[in-house]
Amino acid sequence: MRQRYCRKCGEWHALEAWPPDCFARAHVSCSNLSSPNFISDTLDPVQSQLDGRIYDSKSRLRETYRNAGVVEVGNDSSVMNPVPKRPPGIKREDIKASVAKAFSRAGFGS
């Protein structure tokens, strides 16, 4: 009977009859919380830009924003000063090259 040293309990167990309690956990780095990506509602006290009060709850702060009908945008410049996208310019040489290619394919090339 082959045995192997158990790093969990420090004993030797048969490979065929490994105790269920001695199986290693699959994800050692996981926390014991039921939700690994837990985002709490609390934050360092901040002053609302809307009413000037101090808030330490994200949900209560955003509730005031929602009730006032304003949008929280942070400091993202693409939201504050959106720059419209311009279509890429087409160069005259590219048009000439494309027309020449089409003529060439049709058998009228130079």
From the list 6-14, 40-48, 50-58, 95-103, the region that binds Zn ion by CB under 5 A is 6-14
Question: Which parts of 1-108 are beta strand (E)?
Answer: 3-5, 12-14, 42-47, 54-57
Instruction: Tell me if 22 contacts Zn ion by CB under 5 A.
Output: yes
CA atoms within 13 A on the CB side of 83: 6
Contact code string over 43-72 relative to Zn ion, x by CB under 5 A: ------------------------------
**CA pair distance 46, 79, nearest whole angstrom:** 22
- Judge contact between 3 and 16, C-beta under 8 A: no
Of 2 and 105, which CB lies nearer to Zn ion in the complex structure?
Answer: 2
Instruction: Tell me if 14 contacts Zn ion by CB under 5 A.
Output: no
Q: Which parts of this chain interact with Zn ion (CB under 5 A)?
A: 6, 8-9, 22
